[in-house]
Structure 1
Amino acid sequence: MGDMFRSEKMALCQLFIQQEAGYSTISELGEIGCVQFRDLNVHVNSFQRHYVNEVRRCDELERQMNYIASELRKDGIEVKELIDDLPSAPNPRDISELEATLERVETEISELAQNNVNLKTNYTELKEMCMVLEQTQTFFSDVMDAPSHFGSDDTHAQASCQLGFVAGLLNRERSFAFERMLWRISRGNIYVKRADLEEPLTDPRTGLEVYKTVFVVFYQGEQLNMRIKKVCNGFRSSLYTCPAAHAEREEMLRGVKTRLEDLKLVISQTTDHRRLVLSNTIKNLPRWLVMVKKMKAIYHTLNMFNIDVTKKCLIGEGWVPRNDLENVKQALAAGSAAVGSTLPSFMNELESDQSPPTFNRVNKFTNGYQHLIDAYGMANYREVNPALYTCITFPFLFAVMFGDLGHGFCIFLFALWLVLDEERLSKKRGGEIWNIFFGGRYIILLLGLFSMYTGFLYNDIFSKSLNIFGSGWRVRYNTSTVWTNPSLTLDPVVASVATYPMGVDPIWQLADNQIIFLNSFKMKMSIIIGVSHMIFGVCLSVVNFVHFKKYSLIFLEFIPQILFLILLFGYMCFMMFYKWVKYTPHTHYLPDTPGCAPSVLIYFINMMLFSDSPQPAGCDEYMFVVQPTLEKAFVVLAIICIPWILIGKPLYIMAVRKLRAKRQPISTLGKMDEEGGSHHGAHDEEDDEPISEIWIHQAIHMIEYILSTISHTASYLRLWALSLAHAELSDVLWNMVLSKALTFPGYPAAIALFFIFGAWVLLTIAIMILMEGLSAFLHTLRLHWVEFMSKFYTGAGYAFLPFDFKVLLRSDDDD
């Protein structure tokens, strides 16, 4: 948990690696994944770096493998991803063998692909010719089949009585425009017959299905023949030679069908050979992909290094967690030993003014919560990490809004399945939504558990109550009174005989004033929880001040902020508790009876206005004697805190700057650093900032805190609103859907109940669990990001992104 409390300590390290051991050393560092390298060649063009040729070779290998993978997908073969047993980066000397293998495989597959396209093109042409010959039989059926009547488009008779014709196919959607164009160029001196083909044809190059139309255009004259052919070419139609004689067409059709059968056999044999080649390739392709990606990443990283003047040593820099320094040293030694380097690689720590990256070491459980925090903003280096507390506060605030034992149990069962079967489900690819649910499985598990707990306290299970311990209320009316009155009033003085041991008494399920009671109870509870949450957030700012040695800010910011919050809203929470304790029906003192219980909200408003709070006759004006004096003192102190926040920090910075200006000698300044460095060291970031901007920033900070304290307190009322809405919606769903089916008489009621229960389950899952659950989740996220974390969290850091093969391969898969 020490790592979760704040980010890990980082060290800026300088690596000295022998050039021959550079590749193997970076490969070892990529396997352990604990170094974030800095680019020392920022101003060098990418094409002028030392290992640019190696990167290009890797790009070419990736291109070849992507081409092979695309050909595999065309045949419906998916390239399996390597989950376990990932191969290590290949030896640079073995890359030539891999290049030769991929070159041979690519050439063979590309030749097979081109042959396949050619064969399918021939097959499509023969298929189209066959369809043209079959369809033209009907076109010529009404006219005598004789050469004296028709001539082919190649041998046109000069006699005026002889007609020529052109036959072919074109896309169906172009047929109407095609006819109109022919009509215009011929001025109506043509005759067109066409027929739509019901069976689509497959384009051999794109693989898309295309619907076509067979047409025959009858014309007279050589000039018109040339025009018609130009139009056909313009519309990209396929023209086929079709004999005019019926016997010749029959003979040609038989020949075309014979050639089609022979071509089918050839295509089948070619496809089998192609599948054999691809099946042999797919065995090694996933491993090749991983190996080339690792190799390319290594050379990209080596391009960030500097090379010394002797060109024998690589010099690099990177951030390393201090806990992993020993692992880096072992990787350097392993990389040198792998190539038998005579000079060992070594590492030095550097001093840097740059802020280190933020790294929080997480496990399966804390990973989801850390992602929630990082989505708001990456923490500054060594800043307090809210994820540690969010592990409990997040599911608790969610459960306050989603408190239902039944709905929480459904969420818990779903998350429990994800957790228990996570090893198998982690290999499943279900899309972005599935990845979100699976990644947050431990969050959902706690959301369900906490919802079950608060549902037990609310005594709410699918809008019904459980009488586990026995009600603490007793009905004092006789039987006839109970049967003859639809509703009765229970006097707390005589009807309340005990306190329900845990949670809400189940008798409130039958009460007419249930909503009034729960409304008041949950509203006060949300204010108490909200103020406690915000006080905790303000207190966490002290931890940051102490760690960064900004001790002056404890007095200048923390104390006035916490006083303003406690004196006003903390006091309001105290009045709620005192009101619950003071006023009781079991007393004979009239001012302490429930009828004299005042409104805490009215008290709070009058306290801020310095006005009295009149009460009914016989009741005390205040809950305790010193209340008016105490309230005035609290308001005055709270008002004093406002200028305290505004002017305290700027005046302190001005005083520190004047004190530094008087101490010019370095030795004197060093002595002051030793004596009071904890004070002025806290404001190093403001040293170069003009004092006018400091005043402006502090004024904005003061206004934001004072106004946000009020608005954030009111924002926690969403706990009350969503909890009440969830309970009422669940009650409506029960009464309007399921309870109606339970009143049906006779045997058909069982069938009706079966379908109505299914509808109730569907609505419960869709509305109450998914929609209401998502709404409560988003509101809880907002309460943490805005109301809680804004009190102490800066979130202006940058993440630690180490050179890690596992992260690299996972991100490539996501892309």
Structure 2
Amino acid sequence: MNKIRAVILDEKMDSVIRNLHESGLVELYDMSAKLESPEWRAFLAPATSAEYTRQIATLMIKIGRIIDLFKSVKEEEKTSIKELLNPQPPKKKKMSFSSAEEAISYAEKVLSDVDREVSEPSAKLTKLENRKNELNLLKEQVKYLQDFDVDLKCLGVGEFVYIVSGLISKDKLSELEKSLDDVTDGYCEIVKGNVVVSENEEKVPVIIAVLKEYMDNVGAELRKLGFERFEISNVEGTPKELLSKINQELNNITSEIENITSQLRKLAEKWEEELLAVYEVLEIEKERGDAYSLCGRTERTYVLEAWVPQKYAEKAKEIIENAADGYAFVEIAEPDEPEEKIPVLLDNPKPIKPFEILTEMFAPPKYNEVDPTLLIVPGFLMFYGIMLTDAVYGFLLTLVGLFLWKKMGKVSEGAYNLGYILTLAGIATVIAGLVTGGYLGDFLYQFLGFDVYKSGLALVNPLGESAYISEANPLFKMGNITVNNGPMAILIFSIVVGILHLFIGLLVGFLENIKRGNKKDAILNQGLWLFLILAIVVGVAIGNLTIIGAAVVLVILVCMAKGFMNGGIMDALLGAMDITGFLGNVLSYARLLALCLATGGLAMAVNIMAKLLWDSVPAVGIILAILMLLLGHTFNFVMNGLGSFIHSLRLHYVEFFGQFYEGGGKKFTPFKAKREFTTP
């Protein structure tokens, strides 16, 4: 990563910002913290956002409201299966402006044209919606009074009497009567209606009439008792008459709303795509205007700093110089910030790039730390295939991956990356399934009587013997250890692969420490275990366990010495336990066998139950067996597919990364125009 510093003539700054934004090659550096120091403030002042950003923000609010209005009136679109399986990205409109003022002028014109057509129906719709809400609230309150034969125009404050209506809890009714009788000296009349249920509580609608002079005292008592007052005013007629009028008006309003909504839908079809494009252009222009605030300035110049990947540094410099017509001084420098503040850009070949999401799920690498993405790919695919290890499941996974990659990937980068990874994982699973004879478990044997293992069409039987590995034909012998069945062969393979995987991680960590000049750490943290692995390999190769034993003892002694140097006798004793940590890392790879057995065992159980239903249940047994196969294998495929994904990552994140990778870097965030509805 390099840092670009540029001094640019103020009248050329807009052109520079626009060209950098379209290129997406740099990440602008915020100079505000740097400009707080007296040395920088002596000749540079903090810059502010461009003046036009306020105008853009106002336009965005207005356009956003219209877009929201159009979305609110649109009918729920019925998505066809074809559209669901093959989503299309939105159509893009070509929009190119040489300045923010030009973009603002265009946006104002579009907004004016749209507003001229939308404002009147929009205002009517708002008014009708408000009236509808008022009527529904009034209706909700009046319905509680429909048993009362009273003219509702009497409610409220009269010349001599105050009349109020509302709901009171049934349990507090008697208390209400007594309380009001006390505060009004008996000049109170309470008319009660039938008990109703409101908010899961029994309540009683009442109309209360008191002398006007007691109004304040009555109000205080009503509030104390939790009285729910009805806000009914400026109406007349009995409750039943009023309900009839309300329903009639609501019907008329609903009809009017439907007409206006239909009118707005047509306007949405006409203007929505244009407004979305204009809104996106304004967002881009606002981001450019806000970029000024990251810079410093003098009376006639701006000072800009930006991070740029090393391979794009010269190109970014050329962009700035050309955009400024030569009125700029540009310097490419090495990073001058602490490593944790320098952004990191993962830059892998196209076939590897989708796997970067697996690295980022853990943490981006620190600056000058190795990018582990390339190292993840072979191990992840191999582990996934071995864990799921069924050719049919692998084929299904490949189909799912291809759908996400080729279809959903057109509208989502995340779907593209995940689909690509699952496609390759599915292919790896098919290969593992062919090697282990997994075709929906032992489906071929249970239902067709065909044994793939005796026929020699599968190399390893994860649940027993095969034509190639059996009691009569062991894979190999070493002392008292005989590998004569599939589970033992897969376990040995898992341990060997685990040791090799750890060796690669340790070797990378060793070389990285050497490169940084940390020779002691390289020898004690990685070199020690590399020596142990090499000793194990040599000992096994020549059949001499003494070499392995001597290496183990030597490693333990060195670990104890390292612990003693760090913290004395107690740390020395704890250092002797480091060997168990290494052994635990190696044995952790035995999960390859565990998940392989889980997939095959559960598939076998499903097949056995389905076969029992097929054979023992008359008439509907075939249907039940098919349902059992579909549900059982779907469950097995989903659960063990997910488990394989998680445990493959776990072997990398914990065991593998633990040998050389820390992560925690700052991801490179390019200053780039994000376009979904427009093209420049």
The question of a shared fold, defined as TM-score above 0.5 by the shorter chain, is answered with: yes
Provide the rounded CA distance (Å) in 1 between the counterparts of 2:611 and 2:344: 55
Residue 320 of structure 2 is matched in structure 1 by 332
Residue 634 of structure 1 is matched in structure 2 by 551
Residue 742 of structure 1 is matched in structure 2 by 614
For 1:526-537, list aligned pairs within 5 A.
Answer: 526-537=494-505
Provide the rounded CA distance (Å) in 1 between the counterparts of 2:297 and 2:93: 34
Provide the rounded CA distance (Å) in 2 between the counterparts of 1:631 and 1:48: 66
CA contact (8 A) 1:28 1:334 kept: no
Residue 592 of structure 2 is matched in structure 1 by 719
SS at 1:803 equivalent? coil
- Flag structure 2 segments of 5+ consecutive residues without an equivalent: 37-44, 78-87, 182-187, 473-482
Provide the rounded CA distance (Å) in 1 between the counterparts of 2:520 and 2:216: 96
1:539 aligns with 2:507: yes
809 and 383 in structure 1: CA distance in 2 versus 1, 3 angstrom threshold: farther
Q: How far has the Cα of 1:444 moved from its partner?
A: 1.0
Residue 49 of structure 2 is matched in structure 1 by 51
| RMSD (Å) for aligned C-alpha atoms | 5.2
1:66 aligns with 2:35: no
Amino acid at match of 1:776: S
Residue 18 of structure 2 is matched in structure 1 by 27
- Structure 1 length as normaliser, TM-score? 0.64
Amino acid at match of 1:427: V
Does 768-777 or 787-796 show the bigger shift? 787-796
Residue 299 of structure 1 is matched in structure 2 by 289
Residue 683 of structure 1 is matched in structure 2 by none
469 and 349 in structure 1: CA distance in 2 versus 1, 3 angstrom threshold: farther
SS at 1:319 equivalent? strand
Amino acid at match of 2:611: S
For 1:82-161, list aligned pairs within 5 A.
Answer: 84-85=92-93, 87-88=95-96, 91-94=99-102, 96-97=104-105, 100-101=108-109, 115-122=124-131, 139-140=148-149, 152=154
Amino acid at match of 1:306: G
Match of 1:439 among 389, 413, 417: 417
Provide the rounded CA distance (Å) in 1 between the counterparts of 2:545 and 2:145: 107
Residue 427 of structure 2 is matched in structure 1 by 449
786 and 441 in structure 1: CA distance in 2 versus 1, 3 angstrom threshold: same
Match of 2:364 among 365, 378, 381: 378
Identical pairs, percent = 18
CA contact (8 A) 2:17 2:288 kept: yes
Residue 602 of structure 2 is matched in structure 1 by 729
CA contact (8 A) 1:81 1:286 kept: no
SS at 1:348 equivalent? strand
Alignment deviations for residues 451-478 of structure 1 (CA, whole Å, 9 cap, x no partner): 121222222222218799998979xxxx
Provide the rounded CA distance (Å) in 2 between the counterparts of 1:539 and 1:789: 12
1:759 aligns with 2:628: yes
Provide the rounded CA distance (Å) in 2 between the counterparts of 1:640 and 1:229: 88
CA contact (8 A) 1:132 1:214 kept: no
Amino acid at match of 1:325: A
Residue 217 of structure 1 is matched in structure 2 by 207
CA contact (8 A) 2:614 2:624 kept: no
CA contact (8 A) 1:560 1:645 kept: no
Match of 1:183 among 158, 177, 181: 177
Does 529-538 or 703-712 show the bigger shift? 703-712
Alignment deviations for residues 228-273 of structure 1 (CA, whole Å, 9 cap, x no partner): 8895997341325777899xx97x8888788777766765665566
Q: How far has the Cα of 1:531 moved from its partner?
A: 0.8
For 1:468-507, list aligned pairs within 5 A.
Answer: 502-504=459-461
Provide the rounded CA distance (Å) in 1 between the counterparts of 2:282 and 2:573: 53
CA contact (8 A) 1:456 1:503 kept: no
CA contact (8 A) 2:344 2:666 kept: yes
Q: How far has the Cα of 1:33 moved from its partner?
A: 1.0
SS at 1:17 equivalent? strand
Provide the rounded CA distance (Å) in 2 between the counterparts of 1:633 and 1:132: 90
CA contact (8 A) 1:178 1:235 kept: no
CA contact (8 A) 1:563 1:641 kept: no
SS at 2:28 equivalent? strand
Amino acid at match of 1:742: W
Q: How far has the Cα of 1:784 moved from its partner?
A: 0.9
Alignment deviations for residues 186-242 of structure 1 (CA, whole Å, 9 cap, x no partner): 4494222258799xxxxxxxxxxxx99995637586668898889599734132577
Provide the rounded CA distance (Å) in 2 between the counterparts of 1:241 and 1:400: 78
296 and 705 in structure 1: CA distance in 2 versus 1, 3 angstrom threshold: farther
Provide the rounded CA distance (Å) in 2 between the counterparts of 1:28 and 1:409: 46
Match of 1:413 among 395, 399, 420: 399
278 and 234 in structure 1: CA distance in 2 versus 1, 3 angstrom threshold: farther
Alignment deviations for residues 125-154 of structure 1 (CA, whole Å, 9 cap, x no partner): 6677789999977544xxxx9x9xx99558
1:708 aligns with 2:625: no
- Report the count of equivalent residues: 630
Provide the rounded CA distance (Å) in 1 between the counterparts of 2:68 and 2:656: 50
90 and 112 in structure 1: CA distance in 2 versus 1, 3 angstrom threshold: farther
Amino acid at match of 1:183: E
SS at 1:372 equivalent? helix
Amino acid at match of 1:791: Q
Provide the rounded CA distance (Å) in 2 between the counterparts of 1:710 and 1:82: 54
- Flag structure 1 segments of 5+ consecutive residues without an equivalent: 1-9, 159-163, 199-210, 429-434, 475-498, 579-623, 651-691, 811-815
For 1:524-673, list aligned pairs within 5 A.
Answer: 524-545=492-513, 547-548=515-516, 559-568=527-536, 570=537, 574=540, 627=544, 630-631=547-548, 633-639=550-556, 641-642=558-559
1:239 aligns with 2:211: no
Residue 284 of structure 1 is matched in structure 2 by 274
Q: How far has the Cα of 1:306 moved from its partner?
A: 1.9
SS at 2:398 equivalent? helix
SS at 2:644 equivalent? helix
Provide the rounded CA distance (Å) in 2 between the counterparts of 1:333 and 1:755: 74
Find the structure with the greater CA-based Rg. 1
1:800 aligns with 2:668: yes
CA contact (8 A) 1:179 1:192 kept: no
Q: How far has the Cα of 1:286 moved from its partner?
A: 0.9
Provide the rounded CA distance (Å) in 2 between the counterparts of 1:349 and 1:314: 17
CA contact (8 A) 2:401 2:419 kept: yes
For 1:421-432, list aligned pairs within 5 A.
Answer: 421-422=407-408, 425-427=409-411
Match of 1:775 among 637, 643, 648: 643
317 and 330 in structure 1: CA distance in 2 versus 1, 3 angstrom threshold: same
699 and 470 in structure 1: CA distance in 2 versus 1, 3 angstrom threshold: same
Residue 207 of structure 1 is matched in structure 2 by none
Q: How far has the Cα of 1:781 moved from its partner?
A: 1.0
SS at 2:411 equivalent? coil
Alignment deviations for residues 445-502 of structure 1 (CA, whole Å, 9 cap, x no partner): 122111121222222222218799998979xxxxxxxxxxxxxxxxxxxxxxxx8784
Provide the rounded CA distance (Å) in 2 between the counterparts of 1:638 and 1:329: 53
Amino acid at match of 1:20: E
Alignment deviations for residues 390-440 of structure 1 (CA, whole Å, 9 cap, x no partner): 211111012222212222222122112223434xx5327xxxxxx866531
724 and 392 in structure 1: CA distance in 2 versus 1, 3 angstrom threshold: same
Residue 679 of structure 1 is matched in structure 2 by none
Amino acid at match of 1:348: E
SS at 2:25 equivalent? coil
Q: How far has the Cα of 1:774 moved from its partner?
A: 1.7
Residue 349 of structure 1 is matched in structure 2 by 332
Q: How far has the Cα of 1:282 moved from its partner?
A: 2.2
